[in-house]
Structure 1
Amino acid sequence: MGTIGYVRVSTAGPSAELQTRALREAGCDRIFTDHGVSGTRGPVGPSSTRCWTTCVKVTS
Structure 2
Amino acid sequence: MPVPGYDPDDVDNLLEQKLSETDVRSQLSDAELESYENGDARLVELLDEDQIDQLLDEAK
Shorter-normalised TM range: 0.3 to 0.5
- What's the TM-score once normalised by structure 2's chain length? 0.32
- Structure holding more strand per residue: 1
- Structure holding more helix per residue: 2
Larger Rg, first or second structure (1 or 2): 1
Instruction: Specify which structure has the bigger relative contact order, considering alpha-carbon pairs within 8 angstroms and separated by 6 or more residues.
Output: 2
